[in-house]
Structure formats: structure tokens, C-alpha cells
Amino acid sequence: MPSVAVRFHNVVQRFRVIRERPDTLREAFAHFYRKPRNTYHDFEALKHVSFEVPHGTTVGIIGRNGSGKSTILKIVAGVYRATSGEVEVNGSTAPLIELGAGFHHELTGRENILINGLLLGLSKREIQRLEPAIIEFAEIGEFIDAPVKQYSSGMYMRLAFAVATAVNPDILLVDEILAVGDAGFRGKCFDRIAAFRKQGKTIILVSHDQDTVRKFCDRALLIHEGALLADGGPDEVIGRYEEIIGCAASALPTGQFT
Amino acid sequence: MFELVHGIYQYRELIWALALKELRVRYKRSVLGFLWALLNPLLMMIVLTLVFGTIMRFSIDHYAIFLLSMLLPWTFFSQALAYSVESVVGNAELLKKVRVPQLVFPTAAVLANIINFLLSLIPLALIVVALRFPLRWTWVYLPIPMVGLFLFTLGASFFFAAINVFFRDISHIVQILLSAWFYGSPIIYSIDFIPKKYHLLFRLNPMLYVLNGFRLSIYYGQLPSPQSVIMSLGCGVTAVVIGFGVFRRYQDIFVYYV
């Protein structure tokens, strides 16, 4: 197996931000005739980002909202394809990105476990084998055969977390999800992530919470406005991050908040 | 084409689960549940037979069976298309979060309707028996027009599902197109009602050959000519090649537009 789990080299992700997006045919025709200029501009969500994540390390990505943290995770997960640059991902990935995206409200918990598991790339047999463990971990009890629309939001999140972590990937992608659930369940989630670490899995974790990064990560990356500003030990990188937040806060009263 | 077959095989469990989900959700909150799949064609037939058989006095023997032999495959086609047009856009949240093979969505929508269609053949057989209409041996030929019908529907589904990502009008246009197509096809009437000089025009309808296969074998007790068989399968294969070709060409950028 190659020594790196994830390698980004000069990765650029560009999105076309269309101010007046022709969503319908009428608009498309109208645009065609009027030949408007500058109705879109290219927005670079990632600007020549390069980093490596060796196998078995836990890397935290920090940065302000909209800085491009989640874009990195989505490129690793294969949802986006980088506009340019090289991306190398060695091993299976499972996204813990915004949990429960694949849940259908009319279906029962059990039915949703199956569909979500299949979406994450498990086979039906594997899911049936894992099902008892998932149900137990999620602490759903008899509600498992009720439609998920009757679940409390905590139950919903717990089930989603349980399914996503049951996939047992080589590379776990965690996006800002540990803020859910009560303290008890959050503890369980952290335990599970710690267990992944112990098994030598690679984890990439996006978080605002500096304590989480300090506690779990071997390394941290600081992303600011699409560029990689710092790459190093968590304490050092968090220091830089706090400087940036400080600057932004001091810029606030002058109204230059973009 | 090979890619499509391989993809469907590779993700067969997911496609099957999504199709069942679709059906479950469709019938979940209704008292009669799956019985609606059987009742629907029955009620449709009663309405249309009353209107065209009794009030308009079409001089067609056993009009109910004449009608149903084409109405059922048509209903399948129009419902499958209406569902699959929205299938990619409707799963936007999922596409943005997990790497999922996009082809599973239209395929599952078509598969769900295939199941529904096969169920609707049961009331048809019951009606045939109840009206003391002879149950023709030519029913054994039905799998051939079915394959043509399913392929054609799948191709059209891929095509419209892909375009609908970029222009949301397509789902409205498809509704209107379907209704024009319905009245333009000899479904509620017989092609014999149409003056000969227009027949050439009707032959341009790619659905005609498939629909005719159904009516010939169920109502007339005849086998279609070899040319007609080739045409119905040929239209199906062509539709899949074009439809999936378009879908495949654009599937990687769906995620930026949904």
C-alpha cells in the first residue's frame, strides 16, 4: 500500500458562480439573445492547495466558514472533481458529511439502514451482519421499526452516525458533526473515533471546535480563503487560526467583513 | 452500453432497494396500499370504456380489452418517465454529499414502475376472464414488446433526467409531451379510424411498434411481423444508446447544477 492515504498537489477547485443562473429554458433563450456579459464569475474555492496525509494519521482542518474546508472533504470523497491539480486517494473512504442525507422520512429506521448502507458502498449481506450493532450503538430500541419522521432529532443523528461509522472505511471523513446529540452520545462518538485511530485508520476531520482538534489530531491544516495557510502541529496551527479570527474581529467595526 | 449493463449489475442491490423504497413511499400512507397498483388500471378502464365505448360508441368489440392492451404499457411509460425526470434533481442532497453512481436513480425509477406494470397485468388477465374474452396463446409473445418497452423507457428516462438537471422546465414539458403523445398514438382509438394518407405520420412514432405488439398479442391473437419486432426492439436499443450517452456525458457535472 502506498504510504500516503491522501495527497493533494496544487489542487484548484473552481466553481462557476452565476449571478443570474438560467434555470429555465426561457431564461436560457433570453440570455442567448441578449448576450449578457459578466453574468458569472469563477470563484476559486481552493487555490493551489498541496498537502499529504500519511496512513494512520488524524488530520484536522480548521478555518472560518466558507474557507474551503468542506470542499477538501468532498474532493477526497469523490463528490467533486478538482478543476486542476492532482488528487490521490488510496483506500476506501466513508463520509460522515452531514449525516442522514440519504434518509427517507416515510421509511423505518431499519429500511433506512439498508438504503444508507448500500449508498455508502456496503453489500446487503454486510449490512444485515452489521445491523444489530448499528441499532445497539444508536440506542434506538423499538423505534427501529417506526418511520424516521417520528424520531427525535437526536435519534435521527445517532442512527445516521451509527450507520456511517459501521462502514469501517480506510479513510474516515468527519465534517462538523460532533456537535450533535447529548453529552453522553457525543462521548460515545468520540470513543468510536478514538477507536478508529487506534486501529490505525486515517481520519480527516473538519471542525470549528479547537478543543476537538487539539484532543484528536496529530496534525492540523489551516485553510483561509481557499489557500493553505499553515500545516503543522495542532497547537501551532490553532495559534495562527486565532490570529486570523482576531484580525477579522478587529476589522468588523470598519465594515470590511468580506 | 457495456458500461450501463456493468453499472446496473454492480449496483443491482442499491437499485433494487431504491425501487422498493419508491414503491413503499408511493403506497405507504394509503389504506389500500399495494392494491392501488391493481385498482388503478381497473378504474381507468371503467372511465375510458364508459366515455369511448358507451358515450362515443366506438364500434369496437370488447372495447375494454382493446383499450387496456395498450393503455397499461402506456401508463407504465408515462409514469416511469414522470418519476425519472425528477430522479436526479430529487436526489440532489445525496449527490452533493456522497459519491453515488448517478445512473442508479433513473434506473430505480424505471424499475419501480416495471414492478407496478407487471402487477397491473393481473387485473388485465382477470378482466379478460370475467368478460369471457378468449385468453389467447399469443400472450406468450408479450415478453418481446415488454423488453422493447422497458428499453425505450429507460433510454427516454436517462435523457430527460439529465436535461432536467440543467433546465427545470423539462419536467413540465414532459407532462405536455406525454399527453400529446397519448392522444397522437392509437391507444383509445384504432389506427383504422385514421385515413390511410396519415398512416406514414403515425409510423414515425417510436412507441407505436411496441404498443402494437401488446395489442396484437392480447386482443387480436396475432403475432406481429418480423419487421415490427425488429422495429420495436431497435427503437428501444437506440433510445438507450442515445439517452444513456447524453446522461453519461454530463453526469459528472450534475453535482454543480442540482
pLDDT attached to residue A120 = 85
Q: What is the model's pLDDT at position A255?
A: 44
Q: Is B57 left (phi over 0), alpha (psi -120 to 50) or beta?
A: left
Task: Mark yes or no for CB contact A106/B25 under 8 Å.
Answer: yes
Q: A185 lies in a domain?
A: yes
| Rounded Cα distance, A80 and B255, in Å | 7
* % pLDDT > 70, chain A: 84
- For range B110-121, the mean pLDDT: 92
Nearest chain B alpha carbon to A81: B252
Contacts (Cβ under 8 Å, ≥6 apart) of B186: B70, B193, B194, B202, B208, B211
Check if the beta carbon of residue B194 is closer than 8 Å to that of residue B203.
Answer: no
Q: Which residues of A touch B167 (CB under 8 A)?
A: 22-25, 28
A147 strand-pairing partners? A108
Q: What pLDDT is recorded for position A98?
A: 62
Q: Which residues of B touch A (CB under 8 A)?
A: 13-14, 17-18, 21, 24-25, 28-29, 93-100, 167-169, 252, 255-256
Residue ranges of chain A with pLDDT lower than 50? 254-258
Cell digits of residue B68: 387496456
pLDDT digits over B93-104, tens only?
Answer: 888 888 889 999
Query: Can you give the pLDDT at residue B203?
Result: 86
Contacts A77 to B, Cβ<8 Å: 98-99
Q: What is the mean pLDDT of residues B188-195?
A: 86
Is the pLDDT reported for residue B32 higher than 80? no
- Would residue A115 count as lying in a domain? no
The region, left, alpha or beta by phi > 0 then psi within -120 to 50, assigned to residue A100 is left
Question: Using CB atoms, which residue from A74, A77, A118 is nearest to B14?
Answer: A118
Please name the member of A28, A111, A124 whose beta carbon is closest to the beta carbon of B167: A28
| A124: chain B residues, CB-CB within 8 Å | 13, 17
Residue B183 corresponds to which cell in the numbers above?
392522444
Contact A111 B21 (CB under 8 A): yes
Residue B12 has pLDDT above 80, yes or no: yes
CA distance A146 to A141: 10
pLDDT value for B5: 93
Q: Which residues of B touch A104 (CB under 8 A)?
A: 21, 25
B37/B236: higher pLDDT: B236
Residue positions counted in chain A: 258
C-alpha closest to that of A231 among A44, A54, A80, A17:
A54
Place of cell 419487421: B227
| A11: phi then psi, degrees, rounded to nearest 5 | -80, 130
Residue A149 lies in a domain: no
Mean pLDDT for all residues in chain B? 89
* Nearest-CA distance A103 → chain B (Å): 9
Q: Is A53 helix (H, G, I), strand (E, B) or coil?
A: strand
Instruction: Tell me what pLDDT residue A256 has.
Output: 43
- pLDDT at residue B240, as a whole number: 97
Give the separation between CA B109 and CA B11, rounded to whole angstroms: 14
Q: What is the CATH number of the domain that holds A185?
A: 3.40.50.300
**Per-residue confidence (pLDDT) for residue A175, from 0 to 100:** 80
Q: Is residue A157 part of a domain?
A: no
pLDDT at A258: 43
Domain extent, residue A211, equals 4-92+169-254
User: B241, B1 in Cβ contact below 8 A?
Assistant: yes
Read off the C-alpha cell for B118.
407487471
In a domain, A133, yes or no: no
- The confidence score (pLDDT) of residue B19 equals 94
The nearest CA of chain B is from the CA of A207 a distance in Å of: 17
Amino acid code (one letter) for A116: N
Domain assignment present for residue A127? The answer is no
Q: Phi/psi at B164 (nearest 5 deg)?
A: -65, -25
- Give the number of other Cβ atoms within 10 Å of residue B184's Cβ: 13
Burial of B148 per CB tally in 10 Å (0-12, 13-18, 19+): buried
- What are A135's three cell numbers? 441499532
Among partner residues A78, A95, A114, which is closest to B17 by beta-carbon distance? A114
Which pLDDT value is given to residue A221? 94
B169: chain A residues, CB-CB within 8 Å: 24-26
- Residue B75 host element (H or E): helix B63-85
Distance CA B60, CA B69 (A): 13
If one counts every other C-beta atom within 10 angstroms of the C-beta of residue A225, the result is: 15
| pLDDT score of A257 | 44
Farthest CA pair distance, chain B:
57
Predicted confidence band of residue B44 (pLDDT cuts 50, 70, 90): confident
Contact B167 A25 (CB under 8 A): yes
CA distance A93 to chain B (A): 10
> Phi and psi dihedrals of A171, rounded to 5?
-125, 120
CA A42 to chain centre: 23
Burial (Cβ within 10 Å: 0-12, 13-18, ≥19) of residue B227: exposed
Rounded to 5 degrees, φ, ψ at B57 are 55, 55
DSSP letter at A181 equals S
- Give me the pLDDT at residue B234, please: 95
Please give the pLDDT value at position B113.
94
Q: Is residue A47 part of a domain?
A: yes
DSSP B147-208: HHHHHHHHHHHHHHHHHHHH-TTHHHHHHHHHHHHHHHSTTSS-GGGS-GGGHHHHHT-HHH
CB B21 within 8 A of CB A100: no
Note whether residue A107 is domain-resident: no
The Cα-based distances of A178 to A60, A81, A133, A211, B226 in angstroms read: 13, 26, 20, 12, 64
Q: B70, B187 in Cβ contact below 8 A? A: yes
Neighbours of B65 (CB within 10 A): 19
| Among candidates A15, A95, A124 on the partner chain, residue whose Cβ is nearest the Cβ of B256 | A15
Residue with the three cell numbers 422498493? B20
A124/chain B closest Cα distance in angstroms: 7
CB contact (8 A) between residue A23 and residue B167: yes
Q: What is the mean pLDDT of residues B61-71?
A: 88
Identify the pLDDT of residue B152.
97
Residue B183, pLDDT > 70, answer yes
| Contact: B94, A104; criterion CB under 8 Å | no
Distance CA A79, CA A122 (A): 18
Whole-number pLDDT of residue B256:
87
**Taking CB atoms and an 8 Å cutoff, what residues of chain B touch A150?**
none
Nearest-Cα residue of chain B relative to residue A127: B13
Q: Residue B189 and residue B60: Cα distance in Å, rounded?
A: 9
- A contacts of B93 (beta carbons < 8 Å): 101
Inform me whether the pLDDT recorded for B119 exceeds 80. yes
pLDDT (0 to 100) of residue B43? 86
Beta sheet of A40-54, edge-to-edge order: A40-54, A4-18, A84-89
Q: Is-contact A189 A99, C-beta < 8 A? A: no
Name, in order, each residue with C-beta under 8 angstroms of A240's C-beta and a sequence gap of 6 or more: A222, A229, A230
CA B218, B220, B223: angle at the middle one, nearest 5? 80
Percent of chain B with pLDDT over 70: 100
Number of domains observed in the structure of chain A: 1
Per-residue pLDDT of B140-152, as tens digits, reads 899 999 999 999 9
Average pLDDT over every residue of B10-37: 85
pLDDT-above-90 percentage for chain A: 29
